[in-house]
């Protein structure tokens, strides 16, 4: 009886969730579309039957939640809602694509097919591999709705991440932060991007997340009072000028506050712009630019603007269609306040990104400039996909490098506006104009002055390219170009050139081996690869072709070949020692691995230098065995995302009389005897040894670095707190180098 009652309660909950979904589109969907949504809902219930999520809820609650995000947060229509409700049925049940096409038509079937092909990308039990992400990006050029639904799917999985174990939480949160949040940002889904970032921080660095969250709540009342006082004169003036608008004050996200604390090396209390004011104007499209600038003028009548912080994304629309005026002004009590000015149409596009563009495009109301940006962005993705990399990790890194960075706006000699990622060089510009121009680029002029190809461009620069047919791409070009298109074309040219050299090198090697009385065969080539420690035969032939492998080296190879078994054995043993974890005596090791708490050989990663007490994980490298990284390491998110199968869980044991190196940085106001006070606190009061002390002063300020020998993270924190108490010391930070 209890079971029957429970089933009734669950069924009622599901029906209520469905009704809540329908309310989000009640005014936008036709009667026929609502019928199809109902049909998709019934099919989803029937297909998933009694399947349950990790939370214990019926599985069908997940597709309903995804459909709600798609409708409410992204703003897509009936077709996308139907696809969201059915996004798992082909993969998880007996229903086929043919069944879907028969019931809902070809368009729905094609989107479901795209969603199914990216199998496992957002499965909570499977780490996102780079190859799956690549498959997802491939779908952008076919139908962008596939990717938008997948992002909604990821958001719902992140919202229910608490039901998984800690290892899975950290892994999925890392890949979300590494790939999904930046992709949502590029697609203009700012509210989703912000939520993904905050949820990821919650599981990758929970202590920091909850600390900032608590402090934001504690300062909420004061913040709201400040916003009311700040906006009052602006509201009155806008009303008197007859400008219809709404003004909102919103706190910055926890993730963005954390980012600012790291970038500026400050505490929470020292982050001044913890909120932003947004003015949203209600006006016809033809009056938008005029009224936005009028509102800007009114704001700056009351508060002095920072001239370096004005951003005009109305005249120069971002690649993802974002339009807004941003300024930072000096408010009351000497606080900087960010003010964003935009219209209702701009605000919808700012929140819903390309989804809003998609709807405008379908209704043929989209601004031509925005449509060109959308088409340009998708064309750039096609350029990215043209280069067929075997290494999916390299693909993802290149894709992120270009597509997820901010833009600058530069001009051709004829005055055409060209949008490039921030940090782009003159050579990136040449490749952006035309591939052949980039390949033949000999030099560049920026604003009439001759500059190197590696010169980084700034918004407003005018660039002229000097080319020569004799010029060919060079390998060092890859050291400074940042756009995916430029990197792909350079690599492609070098690869072709490499193949031609390798072809000649192969013939040269055949002649040289014949001279040494060694028969050229696949076996001989394999032996040479092992001897010279090369990955493939192409690299071997190329090195012979450019003369890197000499006659003397080949003669040495022949001499060693007489005792070939011993040589191979020595090579193998050397490699095994480097790559295999070796069990050591427990007394020499401070970390234990896995649930069994095994004692394994490891090395501390130099990129973050974790110490006892830091949260850490092991990473199995190809040549150097297990490397220990802190979870806050700059490389942690990338490693967890792309190589989750090589992550090993580990934790510190209690260790007495063991000391670690920790480098701290101290900044403050210079005064007589300050260095003496600092060293006295460290050595006498805290009994800590100093391995290196380096202090500099400049115009009344001092800057110092001290390398300490400490027992663990808790010990280090105590030392840093004591130093911070000294008069004149403003900042004490640990540097992980």
Catalytic residue set: 91-92
| Cβ atoms 128, 645 nearer than 8 A | no
CA proximity to 290, closest of 249, 328, 241: 241
Give the H/E segment covering residue 278.
strand 275-281
CA proximity to 143, closest of 349, 381, 323: 381
CA distance 223 to 218: 10
What tokens were used for 16? 């209520």
| Cβ atoms 294, 243 nearer than 8 A | yes
What tokens were used for 706? 């001290």
CA distance 58 to 47: 12
What tokens were used for 210? 């909850």
**In 3-state terms, what secondary structure has residue 665?**
strand
Provide the angle, in degrees to the nearest 10, between the axes of the packed helices 484-515 and 551-561: 60
What tokens were used for 260? 């600012």
Sign for the CA dihedral angle at 678, 680, 684, 689 comes to positive
CA distance 285 to 262: 40
What's the DSSP call for residue 305? E
| End-to-end CA gap in the chain | 64
CA distance 451 to 432: 18
Provide the angle, in degrees to the nearest 10, between the axes of the packed helices 522-532 and 564-579: 50
What's the DSSP call for residue 462? B
CA proximity to 355, closest of 74, 68, 65: 74
């Amino acid at each position: 009886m209890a079971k029957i009652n429970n089933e009734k309660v669950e069924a009622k909950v599901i029906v209520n969730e469905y009704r809540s979904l329908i309310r989000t589109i009640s005014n936008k969907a036709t009667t026929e579309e609502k019928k199809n949504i109902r049909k998709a809902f019934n099919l989803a219930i029937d297909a998933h039957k009694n399947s349950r999520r990790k939370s214990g809820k019926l599985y069908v609650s997940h597709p309903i939640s995804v459909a709600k995000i798609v409708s409410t947060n992204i703003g897509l229509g009936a077709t996308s809602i139907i696809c969201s409700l059915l996004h798992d049925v082909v993969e998880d049940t007996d229903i086929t694509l043919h069944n879907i096409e028969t019931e809902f038509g070809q368009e729905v079937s094609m989107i479901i097919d795209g969603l199914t092909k990216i199998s496992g990308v957002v499965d909570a039990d499977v780490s996102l591999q780079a190859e799956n992400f690549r498959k997802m990006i491939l779908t952008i050029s076919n139908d962008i709705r596939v990717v938008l639904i997948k992002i909604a799917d990821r958001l719902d999985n992140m919202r229910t991440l608490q039901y998984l174990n800690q290892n899975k939480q950290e892994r999925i949160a890392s890949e979300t932060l590494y790939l999904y949040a930046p992709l949502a940002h590029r697609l203009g889904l700012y509210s989703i991007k912000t939520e993904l970032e905050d949820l990821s921080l919650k599981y990758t660095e929970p202590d920091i997340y909850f600390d900032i969250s608590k402090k934001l709540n504690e300062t909420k009342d004061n913040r709201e009072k400040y916003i009311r006082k700040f906006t009052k004169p602006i509201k009155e003036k806008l009303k008197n000028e007859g400008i219809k608008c709404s003004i909102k004050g919103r706190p910055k996200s926890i993730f963005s506050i954390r980012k600012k604390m790291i970038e500026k090396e400050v505490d929470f209390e020292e982050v001044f712009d913890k909120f932003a004011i947004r003015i949203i104007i209600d006006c016809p499209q033809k009056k938008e630019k005029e009224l936005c600038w009028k509102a800007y003028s009114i704001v700056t009548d009351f508060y002095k603007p920072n001239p370096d912080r004005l951003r005009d994304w109305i005249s120069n629309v971002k690649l993802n269609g974002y339009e807004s005026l941003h300024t930072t002004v000096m408010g009351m009590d000497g606080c900087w306040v960010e003010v964003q000015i935009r219209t209702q149409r701009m605000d919808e596009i700012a929140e819903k990104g390309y989804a809003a563009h998609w709807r405008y495009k379908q209704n043929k109301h989209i601004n031509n400039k925005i449509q060109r940006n959308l088409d340009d962005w998708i064309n750039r993705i096609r350029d990215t996909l043209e280069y067929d990399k075997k290494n999916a990790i390299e693909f993802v890194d290149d894709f992120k490098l270009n597509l997820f960075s901010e833009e600058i706006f530069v001009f051709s000699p004829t005055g055409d506006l060209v949008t490039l990622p921030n940090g782009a060089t003159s050579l990136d510009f040449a490749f952006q104009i035309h591939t052949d121009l980039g390949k033949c680029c000999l030099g560049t002029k920026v604003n009439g002055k001759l500059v190197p190809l590696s010169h980084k461009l700034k918004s407003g620069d005018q660039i002229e390219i000097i080319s020569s047919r004799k010029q060919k791409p060079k390998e060092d070009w890859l050291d400074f170009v940042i756009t995916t298109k430029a990197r792909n074309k350079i690599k492609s040219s070098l690869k072709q050139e490499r193949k031609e050299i390798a072809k000649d090198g192969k013939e040269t090697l055949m002649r040289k081996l014949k001279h040494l009385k060694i028969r050229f065969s696949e076996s001989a080539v394999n032996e040479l690869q092992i001897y010279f420690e090369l990955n493939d035969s192409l690299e071997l032939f190329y090195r012979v072709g450019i003369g890197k492998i000499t006659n003397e080296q080949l003669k040495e190879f022949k001499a060693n070949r007489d005792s070939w078994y011993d040589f191979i054995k020595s090579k193998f043993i050397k490699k095994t020692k480097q790559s295999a974890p070796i069990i050591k005596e427990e007394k020499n090791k401070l970390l234990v691995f896995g649930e069994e708490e095994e004692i394994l050989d490891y090395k501390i990663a130099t990129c973050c230098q974790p110490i006892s007490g830091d949260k850490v994980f092991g990473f199995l490298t190809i040549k150097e065995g297990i490397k220990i990284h802190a979870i806050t390491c700059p490389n942690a998110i990338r490693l967890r995302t792309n190589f989750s199968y090589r992550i090993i869980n580990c934790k510190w044991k209690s260790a007495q009389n063991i000391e670690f190196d920790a480098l701290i940085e101290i900044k403050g106001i210079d005064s007589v005897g300050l260095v003496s006070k600092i060293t006295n606190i460290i050595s006498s009061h805290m009994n800590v040894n100093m391995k290196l002390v380096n202090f500099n002063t400049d115009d009344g300020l001092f800057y110092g670095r001290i390398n300490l020998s400490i027992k663990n993270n808790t010990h280090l924190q105590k030392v840093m707190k004591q130093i911070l108490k000294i008069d004149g010391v403003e900042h004490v930070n640990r540097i992980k180098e």
